A and B are shown apart, each in its own frame.
Chain A
């Protein structure tokens, strides 16, 4: 890539230019809404060819202008989307990898050889003909990586690869990126949690409101002062152990026990229990974090407590007049039933007997967004809204599944504030997470799920454990 510069219509992106050489990692950072994803769509030519956008400027790879040719971007660029759920298109892993190759006109036998090889090296060979929905989250992610590079592109781009990823996955992506760099590919990563790639980056480009605000070389990135400055700009820069004002491990046990779980065993198939011998208690106003990799049974445990997962044995006892726990899914959209924010809140108020004004008063963006369909709010706002709806139902316990996935630092802080406010009012939380930020900034206690069993670990130690698994500690 020699140079790239563009001005994109309606001022989503403007005056952004940078370049990268073979075997280099370019890291693009910026808060939510800074135009990071638009940048990827622009470079890949999608913005102009598919989305009806327009681009002024050019993107060169090895002398070819991606924006001028007849859709050559597919051949030269590989893109890994944020969520493998959205990237994977074909029913089986083999088809998924073959898809790109066949589209690009590879010879049939060559495509098959290459796909088979690739699936083998990503550990998916045995499952090549299974339906992708039978794959685990980790396997799906590996599939999305494999299919993005099957056609040997020059430039590989990753859109917020750590957004919904556990530390085990982050380690895998880091290894993937390292391999690509070794092979001499140019890699471009767009990410607000830049800490996970900072040590490998050759260049950091910062975007803000669609403009490139600064660019730093590898040498500059080594400086402490710079990192402090970046942190001020709302970027998740440092691994937790280096964070200056780390709150440390604190004890804040409040209230009486309201939930006791004793000897719980959960399963999808009776013979293969997912969780065994789970015992813990929860106190009023406490925030309990449930930590473990994707697929370890965190969601199942939450659903069991909420009464939606029937495959279990053991005891779940609510005490102190508590009747029920309210479950908030990882995907906020599941909870919306109306076509406007106002409608949602009125519905919540009428179903729970709370006054509408009080409910609406809990939503800081209410006035400005009341006619918006909830689906068109930002992710942070949607999570906020689900939390308000949950609260309206007057639960004593709120169960949240991965509430921080995809939130940048400022959205995260406002979510924390909200949760803290509710917990001081006596609501208890069980939050499933693999985000170290939750453990340090919010959790009173944490439980680690490992091999189907749980054990208690201090939140700050759990956070360090996660960062070390990710490979940045």
Chain B
């Protein structure tokens, strides 16, 4: 389970996943802010949250190894912090939590499935810590009904984008 089990090519691919996610994460801020005005809190979460969860399924679909999901998400968040400090280093905290949640998705399949389904699950699971951290950090606490709607929205969004990015990444490998 150590990073040392990754080959050099894996590490390079991890970097690629990190940069691409970092760029997407940075762009997601604008998308989130615009969609919150247009579509309200639930709509905004469906449209944008999954974008922030893409690092994990992207890296996992490229590497297909334990821990790749976590590292992909975490690295993406780190890159986001270094290139455009929109959310400051909190990104790293989000990335850490979301990465772990997504990793759990792949663990559920005992690291045997690296397909669109596991990718969607990994994306969906990241929605839980995301909404939780929102509540803690940004005081985004609503009624229980609202909260569960947000969680569902974040998870649905994560599943959609997780599936999209896994499909794209999986089509690369022979």
Contact = CB atoms under 8 A, between A and B. Distances in A.
Binding partners A and B:
yes
Interface of A: 50, 89, 339, 373, 375
Q: Kindly list the 7 A-B residue pairs having the minimum CB-CB distance in the complex, ordered from nearest.
A: A339-B171, A50-B7, A50-B8, A50-B9, A373-B171, A375-B172, A89-B12
A409 B24 CA distance: 41
Contacts of B12: 89
Contacts of B9: 50
A431 to B, nearest CB: 31
Interface of B: 7-9, 12, 171-172
Contacts, number: 7
A339 B171 CA distance: 8
A375 B172 CA distance: 9
A450 to B, nearest CB: 37
A339 B170 CA distance: 12
A373 B8 CA distance: 25
Contacts of B171: 339, 373
Nearest to B167: A339
Contacts of B7: 50
B168 to A, nearest CB: 9
Contacts of B172: 375
A373 B173 CA distance: 11
7 contacts: A50-B7, A50-B8, A50-B9, A89-B12, A339-B171, A373-B171, A375-B172
B58 to A, nearest CB: 17
Contacts of A89: 12
Nearest to B171: A339
A132 to B, nearest CB: 14
Contacts of B8: 50
B109 to A, nearest CB: 24
Contacts of A339: 171
A428 B9 CA distance: 43
Contacts of A373: 171
A89 B15 CA distance: 11
A304 to B, nearest CB: 27
A339 B172 CA distance: 9
A94 B117 CA distance: 44
Contacts of A50: 7-9
Nearest to A340: B171
A89 B7 CA distance: 15
A378 to B, nearest CB: 15
